[in-house]
Amino acid sequence: MRRLLLTGAVAAAALASAGAGAIVLRAGVFAGRLLPAGEAAPISMPARPYARPFTFAPPGRSLPAGPASLEPRHGLLLQRYRAQAPEENHAFYFTRGIYSSYGGSRRWGGGSWSTDWPKSDQQFNVVLRRLTNIDSYLDPHAVALDDPALLRYPYLYILEVGRIALTPGEVSNLRDYLLKGGFLVVDDFWGDYQWAPFEEAMRQVLPEYQIEPLPLDNEYFKGFYNVDEVLQVPNVNNARRGFTSECPGCYPQVFGIFDARHRLMVVINWNTDLGDAWEWAEQPDYPVKYSTYAFKIGVNSIIYAMSH
């Protein structure tokens, strides 16, 4: 897998922002303010932040000529694309993983993989650019777990994995991706009943490696922002009601899976919902405490993936 490493200038910009406080995003424009480090120049959202039509294809993948190719997946249809030369080149692509799940499909709007998508990913990318100067692709970017093109992108985000049911092709390709240097971030699943299907999937993908608690002194929590506690980030509706958990007795935990060289391959955010905080951070009634934490953890994960 081709590794995409931070340049010295980007790394310096990242370190310069590491001591900043709350990240405040509000309606109209992204104020992009870092408090209490002082007022910064405002940053506007792209002219058409969510106007481009949905496509499964990442940059450089387009529809085949003639009728679209359709392939059955659990009795449903998944659009397929062929690889072509990239139309746009960027330093970083926030890649959303398309996976199979029972009771759903992998198509747009039909599966757990698409929760909060594409708004959450796009808003995160805008903030990532503001904080780090990383040249991040701003459009939706989703890749199926069994697509060989997945190996082009060192960062992969999946969520709502409580109903995950990987096919043999997904298991094989995801294993190859992780062992060749890919980095997976898992988010937004709650309680033991959602943990069990995800743990089974990881046993299929990486049977020789263990899921273990990720301590706060790990460099993952220190590489960009210094994160010294794990917060339970609520979905937008719970935040408006004044509580955070989606299940009784569920408290937030972060786990990791390390390879034989002790490289962190997988980060697992359990009993928390980072993606909802990214998606709704501009709303005045979404608590800044949680959106700030979610952006800090998200940026840390990018810096780790791009530098290891």
Single-letter residue type at 150: L
Q: Which two tokens stand for residue 194?
A: 């959602």
How do 95-98 and 69-73 pair as beta strands? unpaired
CA–CA separation, 5 and 243 (whole Å): 39
* pLDDT computed for residue 270 by the predictor: 98
* pLDDT computed for residue 22 by the predictor: 57
Task: Count structural domains, the chain.
Answer: 1
* pLDDT computed for residue 142 by the predictor: 94
Cβ–Cβ < 8 Å for 119, 144: no
Q: Residue 82: inside a domain, yes or no?
A: no
CA–CA separation, 90 and 158 (whole Å): 21
Q: Which two tokens stand for residue 27?
A: 């309606």
Q: Residue 81: inside a domain, yes or no?
A: no
Q: Residue 110: inside a domain, yes or no?
A: yes
* pLDDT computed for residue 23 by the predictor: 52
* pLDDT computed for residue 298 by the predictor: 98
Show pLDDT as tens, one digit a residue, over the chain (308 residues). 433 333 333 333 333 343 445 554 433 322 333 323 333 333 333 332 322 222 333 344 332 332 222 233 332 323 333 233 346 789 999 999 999 998 654 444 347 899 999 999 999 999 999 999 899 999 889 999 999 999 999 999 999 999 999 999 999 999 999 999 999 999 999 999 999 999 999 999 999 999 999 999 999 999 999 999 999 999 999 999 999 999 999 999 999 999 999 999 999 999 999 999 999 999 999 999 999 999 999 999 999 999 98
* pLDDT computed for residue 13 by the predictor: 37
Question: From the centroid of its chain, how far is CA 66?
Answer: 33
Q: Which two tokens stand for residue 122?
A: 């796009």
Whose CA is closest to 254, among 215, 219, 223, 208? 215
Q: Which domain holds residue 243?
A: 8-53+88-307
Cβ–Cβ < 8 Å for 241, 249: no
* pLDDT computed for residue 40 by the predictor: 35
Cβ–Cβ < 8 Å for 288, 244: no
Q: Residue 105: inside a domain, yes or no?
A: yes
What CATH number does residue 142 fall under?
3.40.50.12140
Q: Residue 80: inside a domain, yes or no?
A: no
Whose CA is closest to 99, among 40, 142, 145, 150? 145
CA–CA separation, 239 and 293 (whole Å): 14
